[in-house]
Chain A
Amino acid sequence: MEFFRPATLIDALALKSTHPTALCINGGTDVMVELNFDRKRPETLLDLSAISELSEWSDHGDSILLGAGVPYTRIYQELAEELPGLAMASRTVGSLQIRNKGGVGGNLGSASPAGDAHPPLLASGAAVNVASVNGTRAIDINEFFLGPKKNAMNPEEIITSVLIPKARGGQQYSKIGTRNAMVIAVCSFGIAIDANNKSVGTGIGSAGPTPLRAHEAESYAATHLDWVNGSAVTPEMMKEFGALVAAASRPIDDVRGTAAYRRHSLAVISGRCLKWAWTSTQDMRSK
């Protein structure tokens, strides 16, 4: 096995171009499991962890440009105000040891339907920046996930960063699992309320072949939330919103849970998320 550890992105892109089957590794929390268990034996391993620009983030006014290798620990320590939904999701990843190494780039590269970062990225309308020797392109998060562990990237491309709009209202993330740590989501849900545009974004995790949006639930919330007076979300709204989220999911029965349980729990957590996110939207407004 060849192992490359480029110090610059330009070198990394040149290597990915000449070795398109190279497996990228950064935090290692997914890739090393594959190697340790002999599930993968790539001819080439391309280590991105020495490229400093991948582990930086920057403020672009309305958005945060988050380097693909910024570990989860830093996301919730440094960006909880700008990206509250992603910060909440980041806190639920694995354990401290995992959060210290893993980042959003690897989550997107693996493209597991259960990836914790995906629902908040969908809810916020993020864009995934990928690069190759031929140039860079931004992939709309809605077009990024193609199937279980399949994404819209070409073999010679590397994920460099994610452009994520800053919160313009309350955001929430909720996840179902057997304990409070080291859990792969049985199902998960993210919501981002945009008080400026009077719109609502959603993301469903681990209840379909890819992470999913709940479009009808978003329209329902946008038309039923009291944007003028900010009155509280009613139990009826929680129930209807939850039902629409559950209807948008496409879960299967597997070792972590049944499809029926996933639909039910999604309805419950999404209704709660709507209520909580709306409450924090009002708190933000009154500040």
Chain B
Amino acid sequence: MRLTCTVNGKVETIDDVWPGESLLYVLRERMGLPGAKNACEQGECGSCSVHLDEILVCACLVAAGQVEGAEIKTVEGLAGATDLHPVQQAYLDAGAVQCGFCTPGLIVATVDLLEKNADPSDSEIREALAGNLCRCTGYSKILDAVRLAAVRLEGAGKH
């Protein structure tokens, strides 16, 4: 089937899509957007987190046919022309990246959290990121990064 959807603000038309394949497969294999990672393929790890019509989802659990006409935002759409998104910069500055595999999903989930809750408590951060696994177990620096991003976004008055 032919699939038309908006990805990171740009309308895209993709041909020869098998409707039962996942949005994750479309992004990675058909559109060359490898930011969302493919790991568990069952919604356990959160490494494929993207925004679908402004809702945080696992791209592996969305069928390609379901995103016809939808608006998708991936980690690739976060940075500006010259600067990283404040959440990306906070992850770098806090040293919240080890092997880096879980980082894109965690960054997308963190952006989602801070858009809804500018000043989350630690338990709210843990709850919001509970669906994102870091196999390196670098969680304490990930929490540092979220707190740092919250403070910076708060200061910038930008959400």
Q: Which residues of A contact B (CB under 8 A)?
A: 1, 3, 5, 25, 27-29, 31-33, 35-37, 45, 47, 49, 94-98, 100-101, 180-182
Contacts and interface: CB of A to CB of B under 8 A. Distances in A.
Given A1-B20, A96-B130, A100-B55, A36 B60 contact: yes
Given A32-B60, A97-B49, A47 B66 contact: yes
Given A36-B41, A45-B20, A182-B44, A96 B109 contact: yes
A3 B65 contact: yes
A45 B65 contact: yes
Contacts of A180: 130
Given A96-B109, A101-B57, A47 B65 contact: yes
Given A25-B63, A45-B19, A33 B42 contact: yes
A97 B63 contact: no
Contacts of A33: 41-43, 61
B58 interface: yes
Contact of B61 (A29, A45, A47, A96): A29
Interface residues of B, number: 29
Contacts of A49: 66
A25 B130 contact: no
Interface string B43-65: 11010010000011110111101
Nearest to B131: A95
24 contacts: A3-B19, A3-B63, A29-B61, A31-B63, A32-B60, A32-B63, A33-B42, A35-B20, A35-B22, A36-B22, A36-B60, A37-B42, A47-B66, A95-B132, A96-B109, A96-B112, A96-B128, A97-B49, A97-B57, A100-B55, A101-B61, A101-B62, A180-B130, A182-B131
Interface of B: 1, 18-20, 22, 41-44, 46, 49, 55-58, 60-63, 65-66, 68, 109, 112, 127-128, 130-132
A28 B42 contact: no
Contact of B131 (A25, A47, A98): A98
Nearest to B41: A36
Given A28-B61, A28-B63, A97 B20 contact: no
Nearest to A73: B55
Which residue, of B19, B66, B127, has the highest number of chain A Cβ atoms within 10 A? B66
A149 to B, nearest CB: 17
B42 to A, nearest CB: 4
Contacts of B41: 33, 36-37
A18 B125 CA distance: 47
Given A33-B41, A45-B63, A182-B44, A97 B58 contact: yes
Contacts of B49: 97
Contacts of A3: 1, 19-20, 63, 65
Which residue, of B22, B41, B43, has the highest number of chain A Cβ atoms within 10 A? B43
Contacts of A25: 63, 66
Contacts of B44: 182
Contacts of A37: 41-42
Given A5-B65, A36-B22, A47-B65, A96 B1 contact: no
Contact of B66 (A5, A95, A98): A5
A96 B68 contact: no
Given A32-B63, A95-B132, A181-B131, 7 more contacts: A5-B65, A25-B66, A28-B66, A29-B43, A45-B19, A45-B63, A96-B131
